[in-house]
Amino acid sequence: MKLYSLSLSGHAHRARLFLSLLGVPYEVVEVDLAGGQHKSQDFLALNPFGQVPVLDDDGTIVPDSNAILVYLAKKFGRGDWLPEDPEGAARVQRWLSVAAGPIAFGPAAARLVTLFGASFDTGEVIARAHAILTLVDAELSARDWLAAGHPTIADVALYSYIAVAPEGNVDLAPYAHLGAWLARIEALPGFEPLPRSAVGLSAEEGRA
């Protein structure tokens, strides 16, 4: 397997994290987004949207981080990570939608401002981040994992951008249940961290 990735991308990290948790060997191909490699004809042939990550499984091309999570769970028959029953699958899908919506437009967008200079309204995206983190923290007050009594790809999908939310000036201190959940994921065998950057609140922590 070959994964086209960007080391600082939370979307790409979802795929790397799940591959690592599954113990699946793979090759990383780092895509030079700053140099415009994602706009090259070769890369656009893999993903016309020009985005990472993209999984190449011996010629089967799977773009999109959440699609990759589903593909890997199905390919390796991991019903523990993606339940087969309708209710369980729906619970997971609910959180994949959250990852693609409120997480992307909240903590992920806030981090894009500090890390890559994106032109979002800072106050607006930080407010969105706290709104979704408040909801997720409340959900986790009653259980250890988002969609089942054990980790699923729902947890993998939300982990990356929540873990690095402080890089976007989103303080995680008020969210005790979220903090405990992050620690549970980081304790899983095969866990692979997302490289951290000294921006936002993380920069202040580094100077403390």
Is 90 found in the same domain as 168?
yes
Q: Is residue 22, in this structure, part of any structural domain at all?
A: yes
Q: What confidence category does residue 1 fall into, taking pLDDT thresholds of 50, 70 and 90? A: very high
Is 182 found in the same domain as 136?
yes
Structure-token pair, residue 157: 């999908």
Peptide bond into 193 cis (omega under 30): no
**Minimum mean pLDDT among 36-45, 55-64, 78-87, 148-157: which range?**
36-45
Q: Is residue 203, in this structure, part of any structural domain at all?
A: no
Could you give the maximum distance between any two Cα atoms of the chain, in Å? 49
Give the pLDDT confidence score for residue 207 in this predicted structure: 46
Q: Kindly tell me if the per-residue pLDDT of 206 is higher than 60.
A: no
pLDDT tens by residue, 110-162: 999 999 999 999 999 999 999 999 999 999 999 999 999 999 999 999 999 99
Interatomic CA distance for residues 6 and 126, integer angstroms: 24
For the chain, the domain total comes to 2
Is 96 found in the same domain as 69?
no
The CATH number assigned to the domain holding 149 equals: 1.20.1050.10
The CATH number assigned to the domain holding 44 equals: 3.40.30.10
CA dist 70 → 10, 44, 62, 161 (Å): 17, 22, 10, 19
Is 182 found in the same domain as 94?
yes
Is 101 found in the same domain as 55?
no
Q: Is residue 152, in this structure, part of any structural domain at all?
A: yes
**Helix spans in 55-103 (H):** 65-75, 86-98
Is 57 found in the same domain as 99?
no
- In terms of pLDDT, which residue wins out, 32 or 79? 79
- Give me the domain span that covers residue 66: 2-75
Q: Is residue 115, in this structure, part of any structural domain at all?
A: yes
Is 96 found in the same domain as 42?
no
Is 92 found in the same domain as 22?
no
Is 156 found in the same domain as 92?
yes
28-36: average pLDDT: 89
**Chain centroid offset of residue 32 CA:** 19
Asked if 200 and 114 touch (Cβ cutoff 8 Å), the reply is yes
**Minimum mean pLDDT among 4-8, 43-47, 88-92, 199-203: which range?**
199-203
Would you list the DSSP string of 136-203?
A: HHHHTTS-SSSSSSS--HHHHHHHHHHHTGGGGT---TT-HHHHHHHHHHHTSTT--PPPP-S-THHH
DSSP 120: S
Q: Is residue 59, in this structure, part of any structural domain at all?
A: yes
Is 183 found in the same domain as 105?
yes
Q: Of 30, 55, 75, which residue sits at a domain end?
A: 75
Q: What is the pTM of this model?
A: 0.94
92-97: average pLDDT: 98
Q: Is residue 205, in this structure, part of any structural domain at all?
A: no
- In terms of pLDDT, which residue wins out, 37 or 6? 6
Is 181 found in the same domain as 111?
yes
Each residue of 126-137: b (16+ CB within 10 Å) or e?
bebbbebbeebb
Q: Kindly tell me if the per-residue pLDDT of 208 is higher than 70.
A: no
Q: Of 75, 95, 116, which residue sits at a domain end?
A: 75
193-205: average pLDDT: 85
Give the pLDDT confidence score for residue 205 in this predicted structure: 61
Structure-token pair, residue 48: 């016309």
Average pLDDT of every residue of the chain: 95
